[in-house]
Amino acid sequence: MVAIACAFALSVGLAIRHSRVAGDTPYPAGSGMMGPGQWGPAMMAPGRSAAYPSCAAPALPGTVVDVTLADMRGMMEPGGMMGPGMMSPGGMTGQSRNGNQGAPMGMMGMMRIIINPATVPAGKVSFRVSNAGSLNHELVILSLAKGQYSGQRPIDSDGKVDEAGSLAEASHTCGADKGDENAANTGIAPGASGWTTTNLAPGRYELLCNISGHYWAGMYAELDVSPST
């Protein structure tokens, strides 16, 4: 418990310091990461997830990739992901597997996307997405060009990245593909699942959450697709 408390205090301290020195960083103002419902008392309140639906994905075709969407509260809860690995070298640095540095908040591990497996064969791929956090999240799949790495997309003034050319999206609570983008709480609700299936050619892909501020907070991961044998 002492180690967890220290890790939490360190994260909050870094967040405050970073917010003072990174005024130019393109993240949403007003309702941003430090605003109500993003990072505050409500996020850490016990039982916040209890009112949300709980559901599991059905049997899905093709190769299945399990995707976990997480934020700080989910990582701090008993059995969460705030363990020795978070504080180890590379645990909170936001470094991608290729060694490139990620976005500023990604360095702090405030939000994360965890995928298993990280390499799949080309063809039909299904994504079984579980929201283990306390905020709504989504999954968007974009191609990575040669020399482009996850966590390095430009962020617009609305706190989002350009998702033109998206290959698939899971943002429907307890359902497939896209949810209602005009809903007050778009995305997959805490404790719930969503899923999507698409065909992927050999290459590198970025899996990300494009809810305002979440990409900047570290919600991205790379999926490698190898040629079919």
Contact between 109 and 87 (Cβ < 8 Å) = no
- In angstroms, the CA 132 to CA 48 distance is 12
What average pLDDT is seen over the chain?
A: 74
- In angstroms, the CA 128 to CA 135 distance is 18
pLDDT band at 223 (very low <50, low <70, confident <90, very high): very high
Classify residue 55 by burial, with Cβ atoms within 10 Å: 0-12, 13-18, 19+. Answer: middle
* pLDDT attached to residue 180: 79
Lookup result for tokens 């994260």 = 11
* pLDDT attached to residue 27: 38
- In angstroms, the CA 75 to CA 161 distance is 25
DSSP string, 71-126: EHHHHHSTTSS-SHHHHSTTTSS---TTS----TGGGGTSEEEEEE-SEEESEEEE
Is the pLDDT assigned to residue 210 strictly greater than 60? Answer: yes
**Domain 2-46+61-226: homologous superfamily in CATH:** Cupredoxins -  blue copper proteins (2.60.40.420)
37-58 per-position pLDDT tens digit: 333 333 333 344 445 677 989 9
- In angstroms, the CA 27 to CA 217 distance is 9
Q: What DSSP state is assigned to residue 221? A: E
108-165 per-position pLDDT tens digit: 468 999 999 999 999 999 999 999 999 999 999 999 999 999 999 999 999 999 999 9
Higher-scoring residue by pLDDT: 25, 204:
204
Domain ranges of the chain: 2-46+61-226
165-190 per-position pLDDT tens digit: 999 999 999 999 998 777 777 899 99
Q: What pTM, to 2 d.p., does this model score? A: 0.67
